[in-house]
Amino acid sequence: MKGQRVAPSNPGERSREPRGGGWREQLAVDLATGAETFLLTFPPRTTSPHRGELEYHTCHEENVLLSGSVDFDGWYQWQALGYLMHPPYWWHPAGYTFPNGATILIRLDAPVDFTYRPVPSDWDGREWIAPEAPHWCRNRAVSAAHLDPVPWEAVRDSTGQPLGLEAKHLWDDVEQGWVAWLLRAPASWQGSGQQYAGSDELYLLAGDLRVGDVRLVAGGYYFEPTVLRDDLASEEGAVAIRWTRGAPWRLPPIRIC
């Protein structure tokens, strides 16, 4: 995974470049491993050139659909706010369309590459890990979860006491130890002020967060490879997608399929 700290930043402080008819905004990259986190924004009716095909790649891919919708070649649709995780060598539809445009937060643990094949005439729509894969991933896949119906539930400390935060637990990386979750903090919330050994990556969806001397607004981001932050605070309240490793907190069960 990424090993290079990224200081807290807000939109407008990061570079964007044209990509595939839309825009790409780099958030973090590890030059040693190729792991990266970035945003892709697509205009309405953008369509993949690989309609009628399946693909896999050899990295873990996590996507958070921040806005818009995706049609995966007619096999299924994905609505914001949404989440998916494709493990290495996971065959899935390569064709897609963004009917109303979309913005996607993408997190990779290595450079992305693609292998394509035609959709078999008798395919039943069930995705699978390629049997010839040299690495059999123990992480379960999440194809296209819609997160709005998932209930918010309390985050608790190691003794079971509520911390004043709510979460939607999305995914556990049993190989690397990362946990993906949505965080919701009320107005005037403040953490314990402590920092722990661990790793912490956060993208702010709404509201505000104070991170040290920096106030993040919607679209704010930071990555700490060796520090798990509980010295955050919010004036307005906040909703964020967060990845943590080594956290001393108890999250609710995963309730997405």
Question: What tens digit of pLDDT does each residue of 93-130 get?
Answer: 999 999 999 999 999 999 999 999 999 999 999 999 99
Whether the CB-CB separation of 163 and 153 falls below 8 Å is answered with: no
Tell me which DSSP letter residue 209 carries.
E
Nearest partner of 210 among 193, 227, 228, judged by Cα: 193
Residue 138 pLDDT grade (very low, low, confident, very high; cuts 50, 70, 90): confident
**What percentage of the chain carries pLDDT values higher than 90?**
91
CA–CA distance, 120 with 127 (Å, rounded to integer): 12
For the stretch 39-87, pLDDT in tens is 999 999 999 999 999 999 999 999 999 999 999 999 999 999 999 999 9
Task: Give, in degrees to the nearest 5, the angle at Cα 114 between 110 and 115.
Answer: 135
Confidence of residue 230 (pLDDT cuts 50, 70, 90): very high
DSSP state of 254: P
Please indicate whether residue 136 or residue 180 has the higher confidence score (pLDDT).
180
Q: What local confidence, expressed as pLDDT, does residue 177 receive?
A: 94
pLDDT at 141 over 80: yes
The whole-number average pLDDT for the span 123-148 is 92
For residues 15-24, b (16+ Cβ closer than 10 Å) or e, as one string?
eeeeeeebee
| Whole-number Å distance between alpha carbons of 49 and 162 | 48
Q: Are strands 153-156 and 162-172 parallel, antiparallel or unpaired?
A: antiparallel
Domain(s) of CATH 2.60.120.10: residues in the chain: 6-146, 153-245
Asked whether residue 178 carries a pLDDT value surpassing 90, the answer given is yes
Q: What is the pLDDT of residue 1?
A: 56
Computed over every residue of the chain, the mean pLDDT equals: 95
Specify whether the CB–CB gap between 136 and 129 falls below 8 A: yes
pTM summary value: 0.96
Residue of higher predicted confidence among 184 and 31: 184
User: What average pLDDT does this structure show over 135-139?
Assistant: 83
Note the pLDDT of residue 3.
80
- pLDDT for 257: 77
Pick the CATH number of 153-245 from 2.30.42.10, 3.40.50.720, 1.10.10.10, 2.60.120.10: 2.60.120.10
Q: For residue 52, which phi and psi values (nearest 5 degrees)?
A: 80, 10
Q: Which CATH superfamily is domain 6-146 in?
A: Jelly Rolls (2.60.120.10)
